[in-house]
Amino acid sequence: MSSQPAHPALLIPGPIEFDDAVLQSMGHYSESHVGAGFVATFGETLSLLRLLFQTTNPASQPFVISGSGTLGWDLVAANLVEPGENALVLSTGYFGDGFADCLRAYGANVTKLDGPVGGRPQLPDMVTALQEKKYKVLTVTHVDTSTGVLSELKSLAAAVKKVSPETLVIVDGVCSVACEELAFDEWGLDGVVTASQKAIGCPAGLSISMFSGRSIEAVKNRKTEPATYFASMRRWLPTNNPAVMQNYEAKKPSYFATPSPQLIHALNTALKQIMARPLAERFQKHIEVSDRVKKTVTDLGLEIVASKPEDQSHAMTAIYLPEKIAIPDLLPRLLNKGIIFAGGIHKEIGTKYVRFGHMGVTAVDPSRHDVDNALKALQDALAECGYKKA
Ligand SMILES: Cc1ncc(COP(=O)(O)O)c(C=O)c1O
């Protein structure tokens, strides 16, 4: 039994429902951010991230910095690309477009390849683009939270390596890390940026990322100073004194900007829970839950925004509403039944669909019944709205 006050199940695609032990870790007594106790926790947390991202390469560098997922975009845009350098952005929705905007804000010359609504840009188009110009970075959103479209990271990264091996492959994993398979070393990724509040299952407030040795070299070899102070990777790295992230991992006190000890404790607890079981099992559970959701939704006669099964994320499901039923008809009815879904945010179809997040404890904790409750609530709420399957 959860010790949390009774509340509607938060089944939006992040923040997600949190485990009791994770939330209780936020209540840790106050510690010095350079004291031995906290530094040991932070160091262990960084090492746990190597396991989660599946990297054993000592050149890989984890970062945990106070901020939200968007700060990961700034880390990439401010540090890996110099003004005027080319960036190729593969967009599968709102968040791919946002990454492109962030890159432009720091002066990158951005080319964006858009998938159709609910689909991905095609690999041959990406290959053609890479053959036409030299790109410093390619960015891809692993799961675009606006559409629930999953990108084919493994084959995409392999194709980039073949056509343009010097291009850094950067992944927005905000809605995929800890629920979708992601093998940093094996797939040859150069950067994955994510956040605490989705499948990792820790309250919002942490930008979490992993960069390859190649990315770190690119940062060291910049000709221009990054146009940021807080998000300058040089200030968190060994080129700078003190080498904040490396010192923490070596359990040595360090300071650049004050971390949140309570959030780091919560992240530490969440990562220990995740790593207590094989990652493959966790990914499989997310697949099974997602399959069940998608089958029930299509059996109800509804359409999924990510139209092809191979493009569908296992973190969430974006569901088109039946004609004549609007978001304000459905969401309050779901709330009355104890379920919170999110509305749509894609610029072309925002009013026509809702989003159901099924990540983290909702998918893997057998004592929870979020998914069954949500599917039943959806069915009942639609019936109340007068919906009948055609
Ligand atoms: C795929 C993706 N990228 C980036 C972000 C931005 O993260 P945040 O809202 O934590 O800044 C989000 C947020 O939902 C997201 O889903």
Counting ligand 1 atoms within 8 A of each CB, the residue from 16, 102, 175 with the most, and so the one to mutate, is: 175
Looking at the domain assignment, is residue 389 inside a domain? no
Give the integer Cα–Cα distance in Å for 118 and 320: 11
pLDDT of residue 244: 85
Assess whether 177 and 131 both reside in one domain. Answer: yes
Evaluate whether residue 285 is within a structural domain.
Answer: yes
pLDDT digits (tens, 9 = 90+) for 190-208: 999 999 999 999 999 999 9
Pairwise CA distance, residues 255 & 15, whole Å: 29
Ligand 1 center–CA 93 separation, angstroms: 12
Q: Is 146 in the pocket of ligand 1 (CB under 6 A)?
A: no
Work out how many domains the chain is built from and give that number.
2
Q: What is the CATH number of the domain that holds 197?
A: 3.40.640.10
**Among the atoms of ligand 1, which is closest to the Cα of residue 207?**
10
pTM for the whole thing?
0.97
- 258 and 125 belong to one structural domain: yes
Q: 192 by DSSP, 3-state: which? A: strand
**pLDDT number for residue 252:** 86
Is residue 120 marked as binding?
no
| Within-domain flag for 2 | no
Q: What is the pLDDT of residues 266-297, one digit of tens each?
A: 999 999 999 999 999 999 999 999 999 999 99
pLDDT at 240: 59
Q: Do 212 and 143 share a structural domain?
A: yes
pLDDT at position 239 is: 58
Structural domain includes residue 390: no
User: pLDDT tens across 300-347, in order?
Assistant: 999 999 999 999 999 999 999 999 999 999 999 999 999 999 999 999
Per-residue confidence (pLDDT) for residue 255, from 0 to 100: 87
Asked whether residue 257 falls in the same domain as residue 140, the answer is yes
In this structure, the answer to whether residues 73 and 201 fall within a common structural domain is yes
Q: What is the CATH number of the domain that holds 297?
A: 3.90.1150.10
DSSP SS3 for 86:
strand
Tell me, yes or no, whether 257 and 359 share the same domain: no
Query: Is 368 inside a domain boundary?
Result: yes
At 349, the pLDDT band (50, 70, 90 cuts) reads very high
Q: Is 111 in the pocket of ligand 1 (CB under 6 A)?
A: no
Residues 6+ apart with CB under 8 A from 349: 117, 305, 320
Q: Which of 275, 306, 336 is the last residue of a domain?
A: 275
* 135 & 63 share domain: yes
Distance from C-alpha of 45 to C-alpha of 264, rounded to nearest angstrom: 8
pLDDT digits (tens, 9 = 90+) for 58-82: 999 999 999 999 999 999 999 999 9
Is residue 85 included in any domain, yes or no?
yes
pLDDT at 1: 80
Q: Are residues 364 and 220 in the same domain?
A: no
The per-residue pLDDT for 247 is: 87
The residue out of 224, 242, 275 marking a domain boundary is 275
- Mean pLDDT in the chain? 96
Q: Of 226, 257, 275, which residue constitutes the final position of a domain?
A: 275
What is the maximal distance between C-alpha atoms in the chain? 66
> In a mutational test of the pocket of ligand 1, which residue from 174, 208, 359 has the highest number of ligand atoms less than 8 Å from its CB?
174
Share of the chain above pLDDT 90, in %: 93
pLDDT at 390: 82
Distances (CA, A) of 22 to 5, 154, 271, 289: 15, 31, 10, 22
**Same domain membership, residue 282 and residue 207:** no
Is 91 touching ligand 1 by the criterion CB < 6 Å? no
Output the CA 200–ligand 1 centroid distance in Å: 13
Residue 217 one-letter amino acid:
E
Quote the domain boundaries for residue 142.
Answer: 20-275
188 and 263 assigned to the same domain: yes
Query: What is the pLDDT averaged over residues 116-123?
Result: 97
Beta carbons within 8 Å of 52's beta carbon, 6+ residues apart:
177, 178, 200, 271, 274, 275, 279
Whether 124 and 139 map to the same domain: the answer is yes
Confidence of residue 156 (pLDDT cuts 50, 70, 90): very high
Atom of ligand 1 nearest to the CA of 142: 1
**Ligand 1 center from residue 306 Cα (angstroms):** 18
Q: Which residue puts its alpha carbon closest to atom 9 of ligand 1? A: 69
Is 135 part of any domain? Answer: yes
Cα of 194 vs centre of ligand 1, distance in Å, is 8
Residue 14 CA: nearest ligand 1 atom is 14
Same-domain status, 259 and 315: no
Question: Is residue 197 situated within a structural domain?
Answer: yes
Please state the rounded mean pLDDT for residues 1-12.
95
Q: Cα(first)–Cα(last) distance of the chain, in Å?
A: 40
Summarize pLDDT for 211-260 with one digit per residue, the tens: 999 999 999 999 999 999 999 999 988 655 557 888 888 888 888 999 99
Phi then psi for residue 211, to 5 deg, are: -125, 145
